Amino acid sequence: MARIICIDFGLKRCGLAVTDPLQIIATGLEVVHPKDLIDFLKNYTRTEKVELILIGLPKSLDGSDTHATLPAQKMFETIQKALPDIPARQVDERFSSKIASREMLKMGMKKSVRRKKENIDLIAATMMLQEYLQH
């Protein structure tokens, strides 16, 4: 089997998570700037077999678009063009960062660790990917 990558897309940072080759466990992979995302994915897929790329689609509570929805959709299209041999799907990322922050608190992480937005993005991507695996 091959891995699945999930991206918690943001205008400043993108958290990435990946499965193991058997697609059992999701693990945080990296946090990259959006402008570096395509290069990172190209490099990663040269060394690892990836069968699916998931990208979070930001929506508001009522399902309407947010300020980040259009950039996320554009990035989704860019990923499809840059990596045409790997299927890509959009997944709902509503509440992913809030849930990640709450989980970090539950895990007993120090406030200094919880304040780092990179950690929230990484955990949010991991949680989205784990949810995808469970369904």
DSSP letters for 55-77 = EEE-B-TTS-B-TTHHHHHHHHH
- Tens of pLDDT, residue by residue, the chain (135 residues): 899 999 999 899 999 999 999 999 999 999 999 999 999 999 999 999 999 999 998 877 787 888 889 999 999 999 999 999 999 999 887 555 555 455 545 556 555 544 556 667 888 899 889 889 988
Are 8 and 96 contacting, i.e. CB atoms less than 8 angstroms apart? yes
Helices (H), 65-108: 69-82, 96-106
Q: How far is it, in rounded angstroms, from Cα 22 to Cα 2?
A: 7
| DSSP state letter for 47 | H
Computed over its alpha carbons, how large is the radius of gyration of the chain? 14
